[in-house]
């Protein structure tokens, strides 16, 4: 499938957001995607980021997912579609909001076939045919 057009922030960044729940309140933050090559620099994550992962945050720090956010979504808004698409699932990071240590997310697109098959199996096993 073709990728939808997304709202641009600045010259090269798209509008992405992370959702987090703190003190029973849902919060969100806008973040920037950071390419794998940059995220693998020695003073960043030193080569541990694979193609199954997405780095998102700010190079300068300050905006990030944190402890307790694992499993939450990384989303991108499509103005053409008027909706958010989930790109990732919060996985890990080094502390919270540090420069050169953005949040790391599992890349949904790498697991889409597994997700579809698992959903079909799950739904199929609970449906009674009459």
Residue 72 lies in a domain: yes
Residue 43 lies in a domain: yes
Query: How far is residue 42 CA from its own chain's centroid?
Result: 22
Domain that includes residue 52, residue range: 8-126
Look at the block and give the residue holding tokens 């703190």.
22
Residue 84 lies in a domain: yes
Domain containing residue 26: CATH number: 2.40.10.10
> Along the 130 residues of the chain, how does pLDDT read in single tens digits?
333 344 323 223 345 566 655 566 677 888 999 999 999 999 999 999 999 999 999 999 998 888 888 888 899 888 888 888 889 999 999 998 999 999 999 999 998 898 888 888 876 655 554 5
Number of separate domains in the chain: 1
Residue 1 lies in a domain: no
> CA 100, 106, 108, 112 torsion: positive or negative?
positive
Beta bridge partners of 106: 53, 89
Spatial distance between the Cα atoms of 57 and 17, rounded to a whole number of angstroms: 9
Please return the burial class of 40, using the count of CB atoms within 10 Å of its CB with bins 0-12, 13-18 and 19+: middle
Residue 3 lies in a domain: no
Residue 2 lies in a domain: no
pTM: 0.76
Cβ atoms < 10 Å from Cβ of 120: 10
Spatial distance between the Cα atoms of 48 and 98, rounded to a whole number of angstroms: 17
């Amino acid at each position: 499938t073709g990728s939808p057009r997304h709202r641009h922030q600045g010259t090269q960044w798209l509008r992405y957001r992370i959702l987090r729940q703190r003190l029973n309140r849902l919060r969100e933050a806008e973040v920037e995607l950071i390419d794998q090559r940059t995220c693998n620099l020695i003073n960043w994550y030193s080569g541990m980021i694979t193609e199954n992962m997405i780095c998102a945050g700010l190079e300068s720090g300050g905006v990030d997912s944190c402890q307790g956010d694992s499993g939450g979504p990384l989303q991108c808004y499509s103005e053409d579609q008027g909706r958010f698409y989930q790109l990732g699932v919060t996985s890990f990071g080094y502390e919270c909001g540090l420069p050169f240590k953005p949040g790391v997310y599992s890349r949904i697109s790498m697991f889409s076939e597994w997700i579809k098959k698992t959903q079909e199996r799950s739904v199929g096993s609970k449906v009674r045919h009459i």
